[in-house]
C-alpha cells in the first residue's frame, strides 16, 4: 500500500468522517483513500470555502473535521480560513500536499510550515514511509486533544512511497478525562459566590465545549446569578428566564446595564476580551472577576482577574455547586420578581421599540430581521458574516441553542459567512441553514453558491445589501472622507442567485417578504437568495465599539 493510501485510511479510522477540499494532483490519492475509508468528501469551489466549511462543521458537530489541499497554492488559498480556525481553537486537520524536500525549484514550493505557524496553526508532517501513519495519528491527536488547527504536510515523494509492512497500523489514542479544580479553588469560588449580591456568569466557548449548561444553571440558581454568553456561545442558556443573551457590543441595553452593575463576574471558558466586555466597560470598577478555563494562558490575558481557576468548566461548576449545597447556602443574589419581568419585557432587541427607517425602496435592517425571525422555522442554524450589518441577524434572529449559531469572527474576515453556513448545515441536516451576509462578504464568497446548490442544501441566504462596504462608509463618512473606494453600483444579487440555480428574491419592503413566506411553505427544493436592499443612512449601534478594536 502506498503511503498516501495508508494515511488516508488511518485518518478515516481515527474518526475523520467529513473532508472538504479542492482536489489536485498532490491530494488526489489521500482524498480517495479517506473516501475509501468511509469519509464523505465535499468538493468546494475555493480552498478558503473548504477551510471555513470544515471549521463550522467541527464547531457545530463537535467532531474533528478535515480539509484536503493541493500543495503550495492550494494551501495559500485556504490561509484565511485556517487563520480563523486556529484563532478559534477549532480541532481541524489540514491535509496539505507539499513539494518533496528535494524539489527546490518547484513552482508550488512555499514554506508550508512557516505559513501554518504564522497564523497560529500547528505544523506537522509525515516524515518518512516508516513513520507516516504514526505522524498522521499524532497530528490528529494534537487537533482533537488540544483543540488545535493542525497543518499536516504531506510531501509528494513520501506520499508516493510504499508503506512498509507493519507501518500501516494506527496507534490507539488515549481516552482523556477533563481535569478537576483544586479544593482550594472550589472553596474560594464558593466563598465569592456566597458573598456576591449581584453575580453574573458569562459563559464562552469553553462552557459550550464542556457541555456545561446544566451544571452552570444549577450553580447560578443556587447563587442567584444572571446568565450571559459571549457571542460564540449564543444560545447556550436559551429558555432560561435569567439568560441575558450576548454580553458585549451586541448586548441589549438591559443586559449591558445589569452586567455593568454586577459585583461578581465569573467568566466560564470565556476570554472576557474586548468584545465580550465592551473594552472592559461592562465590568464595573468594584466588581470581583473570576475566570475558569482549561488553558492557563487564557486566564487574565485580557484583563486582570481576582481568581483564576485552571480546570474544566463543567467539573468546576459541579464541584462548586456541591460545595454550596454542602454548606446549605442558597441566595437570591441578583434574582428578583421585578427583574424577571424586566428581562422578559426588555431582554431581547426585537421587543424594544424603534423608529422604522424603511422608506418603500429600502427596508430597515431591523424590520427585515424581525420579519425573518417570524417567517423562518425556529429549528435553524444561523451563520453570520462580518460587516456593519452583522449585529442585526445576530441579535434579532433567534436560534434554538448554541449549536444553532455559527460565528466565525476570530479573524474578523469578511466573506466567511456563506462557508460557515454550509459547514453548519452539513453538521445539522435537520435544521434550516440561514446565511446572513453583507453584499461585500456575499460577493467575495459567491462561488460557493454552486456548492450550496450542488449539495441540495435548503439554505436561506439573506444579503443585507447596502451596495457598499457599509462598515467603512459609516466609520469614515462622518469625518467627511471621500467614500468612492468603499461604495459600489447596485448589483442584482437575486439574479446571480438564480444563475446558480437558487430561487432569488429582491426585498425592498415588508410586502416583498411574501415571496419568502411562499418559499418557506415548500417544497424548499432550491436554496433561497434574498437580496434585501437595506436602509443604511446610519451605522449599526455596535459599530463604533467595533472600530475601537482596530
What is the C-alpha separation between 514 and 510, in angstroms, rounded? Answer: 8
319 alpha-carbon distance from chain centroid: 29
- Taking the complex as a whole, the smallest distance from the CB of residue 260 to ligand TPP amounts, in Å, to 27
Between the alpha carbon of residue 466 and those of residues 67, 141, 401, 419, 536, the distances in Å are: 33, 45, 30, 21, 6
Residues in the chain: 550
The tally of CA atoms less than 13 A away on the side-chain side of residue 65 is 30
- Taking the complex as a whole, the smallest distance from the CB of residue 440 to ligand TPP amounts, in Å, to 3
Does residue 464 interact with ligand TPP by CB under 6 A?
A: yes
Q: How many CB atoms are located within 10 Å of the residue 162 CB?
A: 11
| Contact criterion met (CB below 8 Å) for 201 and 259 | no
Q: How many CB atoms are located within 10 Å of the residue 24 CB?
A: 18
Question: Interacting stretch for ligand TPP, rule CB under 6 A, among 28-36, 160-168, 190-198, 467-475?
Answer: 467-475
- Taking the complex as a whole, the smallest distance from the CB of residue 128 to ligand TPP amounts, in Å, to 38
Question: Interacting stretch for ligand TPP, rule CB under 6 A, among 179-187, 387-395, 445-453, 509-517?
Answer: 387-395
| Contact criterion met (CB below 8 Å) for 155 and 100 | yes
Does residue 387 interact with ligand TPP by CB under 6 A?
A: yes
DSSP structural state of residue 178: P
DSSP structural state of residue 162: B
Does residue 240 interact with ligand TPP by CB under 6 A?
A: no
Does residue 415 interact with ligand TPP by CB under 6 A?
A: yes
Q: How many residues bind ligand TPP (CB under 6 A)?
A: 19
Does residue 405 interact with ligand TPP by CB under 6 A?
A: no
Which of 323, 472 has the CB closer to ligand TPP? 472
Does residue 391 interact with ligand TPP by CB under 6 A?
A: no
Does residue 389 interact with ligand TPP by CB under 6 A?
A: yes
What is the C-alpha separation between 265 and 345, in angstroms, rounded? Answer: 24
Which of 24, 438 has the CB closer to ligand TPP? 438
- Taking the complex as a whole, the smallest distance from the CB of residue 415 to ligand TPP amounts, in Å, to 6
**DSSP SS3 for 462:** strand
Question: Interacting stretch for ligand TPP, rule CB under 6 A, among 45-53, 114-122, 181-189, 433-441?
Answer: 433-441
Q: Which of 334, 349, 396, 469 binds ligand TPP (CB under 6 A)?
A: 469
Which of 197, 538 has the CB closer to ligand TPP? 538
**DSSP SS3 for 211:** coil
346, with CB counted inside 10 A (0-12, 13-18, 19+), is: middle
260 alpha-carbon distance from chain centroid: 26
Question: Interacting stretch for ligand TPP, rule CB under 6 A, among 225-233, 239-247, 406-414, 521-529?
Answer: 406-414
- Taking the complex as a whole, the smallest distance from the CB of residue 469 to ligand TPP amounts, in Å, to 3
Strand partners of residue 155: 98
What is the C-alpha separation between 452 and 419, in angstroms, rounded? Answer: 9
Which of 112, 388 has the CB closer to ligand TPP? 388
What is the C-alpha separation between 503 and 524, in angstroms, rounded? Answer: 9
Question: Interacting stretch for ligand TPP, rule CB under 6 A, among 44-52, 213-221, 252-260, 411-419?
Answer: 411-419
What is the C-alpha separation between 266 and 291, in angstroms, rounded? Answer: 6
Which of 68, 386 has the CB closer to ligand TPP? 386
| Contact criterion met (CB below 8 Å) for 477 and 468 | no
Question: Interacting stretch for ligand TPP, rule CB under 6 A, among 22-30, 271-279, 303-311, 432-440?
Answer: 432-440
**DSSP SS3 for 154:** strand
Does residue 413 interact with ligand TPP by CB under 6 A?
A: yes
Which of 239, 547 has the CB closer to ligand TPP? 547
Q: Which of residues 435-454 bind ligand TPP (CB under 6 A)?
A: 438-441
- Taking the complex as a whole, the smallest distance from the CB of residue 543 to ligand TPP amounts, in Å, to 8
Q: Which of 31, 388, 394, 451 binds ligand TPP (CB under 6 A)?
A: 388
Q: Which of 466, 512, 531, 545 binds ligand TPP (CB under 6 A)?
A: 466
> Residues in the site for ligand TPP, rule: CB under 6 A?
386-389, 412-415, 438-441, 464, 466, 468-472
Amino acid at each position: 500500500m502506498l503511503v498516501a493510501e495508508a494515511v488516508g485510511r488511518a485518518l478515516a479510522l481515527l474518526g475523520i468522517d467529513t473532508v472538504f477540499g479542492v482536489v489536485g494532483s498532490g491530494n488526489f490519492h489521500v482524498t480517495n483513500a479517506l473516501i475509501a475509508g468511509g469519509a464523505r468528501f465535499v468538493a468546494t469551489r475555493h480552498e478558503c470555502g473548504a477551510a471555513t466549511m470544515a471549521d463550522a462543521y467541527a464547531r457545530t458537530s463537535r467532531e474533528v473535521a478535515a480539509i484536503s489541499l493541493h500543495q503550495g497554492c492550494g494551501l495559500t488559498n485556504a490561509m484565511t480560513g485556517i487563520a480563523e480556525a486556529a484563532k478559534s481553537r477549532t480541532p481541524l486537520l489540514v491535509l496539505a500536499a507539499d513539494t518533496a524536500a528535494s524539489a527546490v525549484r518547484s513552482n508550488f514550493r512555499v514554506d508550508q510550515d512557516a505559513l501554518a505557524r504564522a497564523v497560529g496553526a500547528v505544523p506537522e508532517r509525515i516524515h518518512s514511509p516508516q513513520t507516516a501513519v504514526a505522524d498522521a495519528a499524532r497530528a490528529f491527536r494534537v487537533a482533537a486533544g488540544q483543540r488545535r488547527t493542525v497543518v499536516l504536510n504531506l510531501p509528494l515523494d513520501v506520499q508516493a512511497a510504499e508503506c512498509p509492512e507493519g507501518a500501516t497500523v494506527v496507534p490507539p489514542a488515549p481516552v482523556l478525562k477533563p481535569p478537576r479544580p483544586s479544593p482550594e479553588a472550589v472553596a474560594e469560588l464558593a466563598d465569592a459566590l456566597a458573598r456576591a449580591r449581584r453575580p453574573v456568569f458569562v459563559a464562552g466557548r469553553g462552557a459550550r465545549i464542556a457541555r456545561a449548561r446544566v451544571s452552570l444553571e444549577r450553580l447560578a440558581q443556587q447563587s442567584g446569578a444572571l446568565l450571559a454568553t459571549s457571542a460564540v456561545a449564543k444560545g447556550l442558556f436559551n429558555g432560561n428566564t435569567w439568560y441575558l443573551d450576548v454580553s458585549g457590543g451586541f448586548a441589549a441595553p438591559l443586559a449591558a446595564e445589569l452586567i455593568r452593575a454586577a459585583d461578581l463576574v465569573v467568566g466560564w471558558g470565556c476570554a472576557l476580551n474586548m468584545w465580550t466586555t465592551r473594552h472592559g466597560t461592562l465590568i464595573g470598577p468594584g466588581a470581583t472577576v473570576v475566570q475558569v478555563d482549561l488553558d492557563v494562558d487564557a486566564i487574565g490575558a485580557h484583563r486582570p482577574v481576582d481568581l483564576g481557576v485552571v480546570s474544566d468548566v463543567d467539573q468546576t461548576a459541579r464541584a462548586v455547586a456541591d460545595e454550596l449545597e454542602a454548606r446549605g447556602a442558597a441566595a437570591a443574589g441578583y434574582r428578583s420578581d421585578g427583574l424577571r419581568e424586566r428581562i422578559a419585557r426588555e431582554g431581547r432587541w426585537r421587543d424594544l421599540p424603534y423608529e422604522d427607517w424603511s422608506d418603500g425602496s429600502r427596508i430597515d435592517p431591523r424590520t427585515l430581521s424581525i420579519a425573518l425571525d417570524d417567517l423562518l422555522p425556529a429549528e435553524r442554524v444561523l451563520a453570520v458574516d462580518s460587516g456593519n450589518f452583522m449585529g442585526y441577524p445576530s441579535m434579532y434572529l433567534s436560534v434554538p441553542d448554541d449549536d444553532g449559531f455559527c460565528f466565525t469572527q476570530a479573524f474578523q474576515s469578511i466573506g466567511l459567512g456563506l462557508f460557515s453556513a454550509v459547514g453548519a448545515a452539513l453538521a445539522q441536516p435537520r435544521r434550516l441553514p440561514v446565511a446572513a451576509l453583507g453584499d461585500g462578504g456575499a460577493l467575495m464568497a459567491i462561488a460557493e453558491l454552486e456548492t450550496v446548490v450542488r449539495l441540495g442544501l435548503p439554505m436561506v441566504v439573506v444579503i443585507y445589501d447596502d451596495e457598499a462596504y457599509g462598515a467603512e462608509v459609516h466609520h469614515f463618512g462622518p469625518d467627511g472622507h471621500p467614500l468612492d473606494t468603499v461604495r459600489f453600483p447596485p448589483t442584482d444579487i437575486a439574479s446571480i442567485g438564480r444563475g446558480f440555480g437558487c430561487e432569488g428574491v429582491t426585498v425592498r419592503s415588508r410586502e416583498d417578504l411574501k415571496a419568502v413566506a411562499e418559499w418557506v411553505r415548500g417544497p424548499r427544493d432550491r436554496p433561497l437568495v434574498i437580496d434585501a436592499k437595506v436602509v443604511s443612512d446610519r451605522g449599526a449601534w455596535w459599530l463604533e465599539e467595533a472600530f475601537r478594536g482596530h
